[in-house]
Amino acid sequence: MEQQKTFADQKRKTVERAEFTADGRYLRKVRSFVLRTGRLSDYQRDMMNDNWATMGLDYQNQPFDFKAIFGNDNPVILEIGFGMGRSLVEMAEQNPDRNYIGIEVHTPGVGACIAYAKEKGVKNLRVICHDATEILRDSVANGSLGGLQLYFPDPWQKAKHHKRRIVQPAFITQVLEKLGENGFIHFATDWQNYAEHMLEVLQQFADKLHNTSPTNDYILRPDFRPLTKFEERGQKLGHGVWDLYFIRKGETL
């Protein structure tokens, strides 16, 4: 007898079906991510099933009410593609005066993030399992974000796949609409070619964004961005990491 699908299993299937129409036909849509359907462990499944009501947010076609969600007016920081969520949870724990929302399409990472947040007793974090561009478009009000974080996104190394990179002028235009005055954009990548691409795209918005780099390109990893195990391992092998930190221009700059 087939095991009954839980909420976590259904969420997983919903994300998997994103590439198809309602009647099962292939939907040709450029995605900025590859949906890696790694195994969802029983523990991760239970964490999603048991805690989604308090820690999860679902896609909606109207803006989230952040004050109602978090119970305060603290700045809301959105992170796209948090992986297994460890650094995001640590950042939320270290900054209780900020609210964090993480978006990740891979359910094992969502379950792991919720589990670590519960372990740490973090209350200022919510997670979403959905396409980030659709969340930005429909579920986030203009001017409502204090910042956007994108760390180590899929670099799409082949030139023919560069169009799939999430950092494109249209994406930055969308993010700028959602940022409040002096809101920040913080990108990090371990692919130099992608770092150069990110910088080139952001420089196209020099009238709206201020680059905090003293050399007008990259910054050293700031203390507030936790060092990931993946990044630490890469540094030991001599791999570079590039951080970009831009602030939306406003009257107080």
Q: Which of 93, 96, 73, 97 is nearest to 85 (CA)?
A: 93
- Catalytic (active site) residue 154: yes
Catalytic residue, from 9, 50, 138, 154: name it. 154
251 annotated as ligand-binding: no
Dihedral of CA atoms 200, 206, 209, 211 in degrees, nearest 10, equals 60
The beta strands (E) that lie in 104-206 are given as: 125-128, 145-151, 179-189
118 marked ligand binding residue = no
Query: Is 5 marked as a binding-site residue?
Result: no
- 181 annotated as belonging to a binding site for a ligand: no
Q: 3-state DSSP call for residue 196?
A: helix
Q: Element (H or E) spanning 114, and its range?
A: helix 107-120
Q: Is 230 assigned a ligand-binding role in the annotation? A: yes
The answer to whether 50 is annotated as binding is: no
Has 231 been labeled as part of a binding site? yes
Helices 7-16 and 107-120 meet at what angle, rounded to 10?
Answer: 140
Q: Tell me: is residue 131 an annotated ligand-binding position.
A: yes
Reduced to 3 states (helix: H, G, I; strand: E, B; else coil), residue 219 is: strand
Please tell me whether 104 is known to bind a ligand: yes
What one-character DSSP code corresponds to residue 19? G
| 66, 138 contact by CB (below 8 A) | no
Task: Answer yes or no: is 229 a known binding residue.
Answer: yes
Q: Which residues are annotated as a binding site?
A: 79, 104, 131, 154, 158, 190, 228-231
Just list the catalytic residues.
154
- The annotated binding site for substrate is made up of 158, 190, 228-231
Annotated binding site for S-adenosyl-L-methionine: 79, 104, 131, 154
